């Protein structure tokens, strides 16, 4: 099996920690990152991973310096794993702009800035993996999860655009979105709940707390097994052997079920509204010719 070098964000627990432990056990080189890394990632030093302090919400210039620092540790990076994240709960009316911005800084701007930092290195080499640890919440909206779903939807759209750019001009660089259902990690134990501001939404906030506890205590999926399979996909072994890897791969029966139900509802809407949708098209032969700006 080919050994690789991985840069992983959000390694203090959950998926990030599992990546570090499984990859180093296989002999791969890992740069494990997180905020306040010397203390929050101290438990990973025994794995042999390089530990690097990295706040994904830092400005672009600082992110680029950190990526170069990570690259220089081993002289390469083969796989960038954008994993850092958290769940901010609360209805849209109660979520403040600042709370929404923090979610976007962590789960949209952070991964995009790191991607920008990685691309010059990957383009020069002609290869590299860009992993985005996402969620079913990037495709299916959830009540009481405005900030989380909005950020997860946003990164899905950005990476889909990136995938088409790369397919055109840099096909050796592979983006991959992992859409995860509920797996057994600490993220559900560390939900951030909005400060109650509108009494009307208190039942929703109470339900979010109850659901979060239930998901933490009785997750649908095995997180370690999922990460093992994600690694296999990148390496082209196990479940990834001989397969063409798509842009998105879902994990968890709960995720798959919700996505299929939404697709079914979308298809129903498209079928029922097709005649209205196409009614605004120009008639054949009457479509105006496109003009360049400033050209008559």
Q: What is the spatial distance between Cα 177 and Cα 246, in angstroms, rounded to a whole number?
A: 9
- Contact between residue 160 and residue 58 where contact means Cβ atoms under 8 Å apart: no
The string over 72-98, giving b where at least 16 C-beta atoms fall within 10 Å of a residue's C-beta and e elsewhere, is ebeeebbbbbbbbbebbbbbeebbeee
Q: What separation in angstroms does the CA of 95 have from each of 89, 148, 190, 203?
A: 8, 11, 18, 15
Set 74, 132, 148, 282: catalytic member: 148
Cβ neighbors of 126 (< 8 A, separation 6 or more) are 170, 172, 173
DSSP letter (8 states) at residue 243: P
Helices (H) and strands (E) in the chain, counts: 10, 9
Q: How far apart are the first and last CA of the chain?
A: 60
DSSP result, 86-147? --EEB-TTT--HHHHHHHHIIIIIHHHHHHHHHHHHHHHHT-EEEEEEEEGGGTS--TTBHH
Q: What is the spatial distance between Cα 130 and Cα 121, in angstroms, rounded to a whole number?
A: 12
| Annotated catalytic residue 148 | yes
- Contact between residue 9 and residue 155 where contact means Cβ atoms under 8 Å apart: no
Q: List, by residue number, the catalytic residues.
A: 148
């Amino acid at each position: 099996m080919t050994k690789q070098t991985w840069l992983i964000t959000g390694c203090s627990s959950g998926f990030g920690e599992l990546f570090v432990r499984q990859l180093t056990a296989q002999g791969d080189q890992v740069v494990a990152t997180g905020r306040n890394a010397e203390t929050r990632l101290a438990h990973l030093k025994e794995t042999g991973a390089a530990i690097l302090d990295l706040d994904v919400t830092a400005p672009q210039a600082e992110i680029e310096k950190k990526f170069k620092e990570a690259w220089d540790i081993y002289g390469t990076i083969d796989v960038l794993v954008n994993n850092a994240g958290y769940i901010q709960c609360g209805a849209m009316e109660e979520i403040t702009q600042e709370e929404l911005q923090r979610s976007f800084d962590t789960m949209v701007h952070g991964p995009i800035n790191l991607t920008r930092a990685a691309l010059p290195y990957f383009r020069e080499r002609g290869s590299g993996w860009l992993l985005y640890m996402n969620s079913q919440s990037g495709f299916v909206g959830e009540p009481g999860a405005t900030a989380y779903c909005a950020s997860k939807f946003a990164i899905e759209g950005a990476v889909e655009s990136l995938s088409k750019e790369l397919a055109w001009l840099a096909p050796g660089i592979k983006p991959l979105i992992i859409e995860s259902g509920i797996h057994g990690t600490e993220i559900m134990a560390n939900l951030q709940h909005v400060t109650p501001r509108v009494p009307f939404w208190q039942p929703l906030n109470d339900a979010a707390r109850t659901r979060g506890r239930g998901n933490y205590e009785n997750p649908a999926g095995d997180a370690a097994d999922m990460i093992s399979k994600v690694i296999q996909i990148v390496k082209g072994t196990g479940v990834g052997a001989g397969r063409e890897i798509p842009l998105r791969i879902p994990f968890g029966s709960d995720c798959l079920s919700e996505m299929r139900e939404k697709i079914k509802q979308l298809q129903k809407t498209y079928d029922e509204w097709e005649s209205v949708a196409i009614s605004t098209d120009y008639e054949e032969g009457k479509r105006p010719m496109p003009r360049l700006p400033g050209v008559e």
